[in-house]
A and B are shown apart, each in its own frame.
Chain A
């Protein structure tokens, strides 16, 4: 697989708030929001990163975008290690790896016309003024806002949520990126317009052969846009593989619980008890061994002693479970 963007063993530790007892003992607790994440996405491919709040999926996205400094590990883009790049040296990377914001209602400056919002990134990345208009028209066509003149001189409040999210996507595409990272790209939109935005994203990815990474808590939605999925739990990838296979035959008990919990819009879904216990543990006091073991219905002695590594379990599939 031609890897366009990759993460190698990324770790991000944040200093956690200290209790008085910690101060007295000289103890400095850290929270490993991302704890050894590796992934790779090739041109024209889409990877979904799925997990609950606090699993580290958004921090992973910020590390990949170089908005956050990793504690260790590296980000590789088009074969180049970009982890050490700073300041102006990052500029080309920033124009080539774009973020699609979650909330279209505050991603755009309300005082700017759509044209100005789309011009800004081009100016920032130094595209000559005479080339900007053509770029903007191209991006507007890509996101199916047609005719562009009907939108360019309007302000955000004059557009619907679905139209705004297309503008947000156009702004990401206008710099001709090679990769896009979308954090919950449709979670703020109504169901009836989500599908339209997702279709536009998918077409853009195919036509431009972009590497795409979608961050979402919604496995059902990821299924429609990502061929590959990585499931995160407490800062680690616990399972990855082709989305359809992971959903149909999840190898990790956490993935099975997630699949069982995803709501489906059909009656007669007597899906029994969830195969999971309790809630997310305190991230500073994770259990020894497997981080999932105290919620796992299948945990046994070995899970207490030994953290299962993420290992290949079938062609293209990985899981971090002793039983997988």
Chain B
């Protein structure tokens, strides 16, 4: 596959007094050019750590312990800090969860855009002025508002501005960490529409880190499902969400409220994810999985179960029979 980014067996550890926390423990997936990939999972699954590790924005206590992440032919893991800095903004850019973190509160938005365009992009000031107006128009903001301060913007407008800022130097890949989580539903939808439009118009690839399956369903082409530091399932959105192969993905879909699904109950997944300080051997979902068998004490590898559809589950072949069972609350209650 023609991948823009190819992540293989990536491990990211946090040093703690009690020992290393294996936040990401062997993640593999591809981001094809011009596609939006949803990195989905619950708190502590490692999705944000993974997104940040790819961008090289990690806290001091975190380090990449193993694996590779080949972006446009170069392994991000082995790049020097200087080489990496050259890629930031120009080839890959980051949109953080709260736009306020991307924007400087004591600088007008226009000045922030100019700074990136002139100092990092090497544009002349007049060129940068034109480009800044273009970027604002691109995300649906009035260019007159470049003179405004961040606090004069609503949450949705700030998120648009931080996307415009990330796009300043025409990156090929945008990594967005929960870009709509803090926003109201109507604003969420508007921002997701902006992202989809940008992807189509500029041919961008994006990694959208989210806990929200509905965001993935609405905005993404592909999805990578993470659980307890591991990728448990990945593939095209339709295949993964409509016919999940991993019991965790099945459970996630049934636990998610759906405005249109007839009647029904929300089905919880009992229990909690394991500690990543001393993760259990074998499948990490086994303790909560209603379909666990003896073999789950061994680690299942991520394999291509169907064309382009990867899963790490010993019982993946039985998925069609397990799916109806997974939709019943009684299956999970024990």
Are A265 and B214 closer than 8 Å at their CB atoms?
A: yes
Interface membership of chain B positions 174-201, coded 1 if the CB is closer than 8 angstroms to chain A and 0 otherwise = 0000000000111111100000000000
Given contacts A195-B268, A196-B270, A263-B212, contact A219 B259 (CB under 8 A): yes
C-alpha gap A190/B186 in the complex (Å): 22
C-alpha gap A52/B190 in the complex (Å): 14
Q: A223: which B residues are within 8 A, CB to CB?
A: 257, 259
Q: Count residues of A near B (Cβ-Cβ below 8 Å).
A: 40
Pick from B184, B188, B256: contact of A265, CB below 8 A.
B256
C-alpha gap A160/B211 in the complex (Å): 17
Task: Please name the 3 residue pairs, one residue from A and one from B, whose CB atoms are nearest each other, closest first.
Answer: A263-B214, A195-B266, A196-B268
Interface membership of chain A positions 254-268, coded 1 if the CB is closer than 8 angstroms to chain B and 0 otherwise = 000111111111111
C-alpha gap A260/B259 in the complex (Å): 10
Q: B241: which A residues are within 8 A, CB to CB?
A: 265-267
Interface residues of B in 119-139 (CB under 8 A from A): none
Q: Which residue in chain A gives the minimum CB-CB distance to B43?
A: A190
| B215 contacts partner chain A, Cβ-Cβ < 8 Å | yes
Pick from B42, B156, B188, B260: contact of A191, CB below 8 A.
B42
Are A190 and B266 closer than 8 Å at their CB atoms?
A: no
Residues of B within 8 A of A (CB): 42-43, 154-157, 184-190, 211-218, 237-238, 241-242, 251-253, 255-260, 265-270, 272
Are A263 and B188 closer than 8 Å at their CB atoms?
A: yes
Q: What would be 20 A-B contacts, judged by CB atoms less than 8 Å apart?
A: A190-B42, A191-B42, A192-B252, A193-B269, A195-B267, A195-B268, A219-B259, A220-B257, A220-B258, A220-B259, A221-B257, A224-B266, A258-B185, A264-B260, A265-B213, A266-B242, A266-B258, A267-B237, A269-B218, A276-B186
Interface residues of A in 158-177 (CB under 8 A from B): 160-163
Q: B154: which A residues are within 8 A, CB to CB?
A: 279-280
Q: B270: which A residues are within 8 A, CB to CB?
A: 196
Interface membership of chain A positions 173-193, coded 1 if the CB is closer than 8 angstroms to chain B and 0 otherwise = 000000000000000001111
Q: A221: which B residues are within 8 A, CB to CB?
A: 257
C-alpha gap A194/B259 in the complex (Å): 16
Which of B213, B257, B258 is most buried by chain A, counting CB atoms within 10 A of its CB? B257
Given contacts A53-B184, A220-B259, contact A264 B214 (CB under 8 A): yes
CB distance from B139 to the nearest CB of A (A): 14
Q: B257: which A residues are within 8 A, CB to CB?
A: 218, 220-221, 223-224
Q: A266: which B residues are within 8 A, CB to CB?
A: 217, 241-242, 258, 260
CB distance from A76 to the nearest CB of B (A): 31
C-alpha gap A274/B218 in the complex (Å): 14
Q: A162: which B residues are within 8 A, CB to CB?
A: 272
Are A263 and B218 closer than 8 Å at their CB atoms?
A: yes
Pick from A191, A193, A261: contact of B189, CB below 8 A.
A261
Which of B217, B255, B268 is most buried by chain A, counting CB atoms within 10 A of its CB? B268
Are B259 and A264 closer than 8 Å at their CB atoms?
A: yes
| A198 contacts partner chain B, Cβ-Cβ < 8 Å | yes
C-alpha gap A223/B256 in the complex (Å): 12
CB distance from B303 to the nearest CB of A (A): 23
Are B266 and A199 closer than 8 Å at their CB atoms?
A: yes
Are A263 and B185 closer than 8 Å at their CB atoms?
A: yes
Given contacts A217-B185, A262-B185, contact A267 B255 (CB under 8 A): no
Which of B42, B260, B266 is most buried by chain A, counting CB atoms within 10 A of its CB? B266
Are B185 and A191 closer than 8 Å at their CB atoms?
A: no
C-alpha gap A21/B42 in the complex (Å): 49
Are A267 and B156 closer than 8 Å at their CB atoms?
A: no
CB distance from B329 to the nearest CB of A (A): 8
| A13 contacts partner chain B, Cβ-Cβ < 8 Å | no
CB distance from A7 to the nearest CB of B (A): 23
Q: A218: which B residues are within 8 A, CB to CB?
A: 185, 257
Q: Which residue in chain A gives the minimum CB-CB distance to B213?
A: A265
CB distance from B98 to the nearest CB of A (A): 14
Q: B266: which A residues are within 8 A, CB to CB?
A: 194-195, 198-199, 224
C-alpha gap A193/B253 in the complex (Å): 12
Are B42 and A264 closer than 8 Å at their CB atoms?
A: no
Interface membership of chain A positions 188-229, coded 1 if the CB is closer than 8 angstroms to chain B and 0 otherwise = 001111111011000000000000000001111101100000
Given contacts A194-B255, A263-B212, contact A279 B265 (CB under 8 A): no
Q: A280: which B residues are within 8 A, CB to CB?
A: 154
CB distance from A254 to the nearest CB of B (A): 9
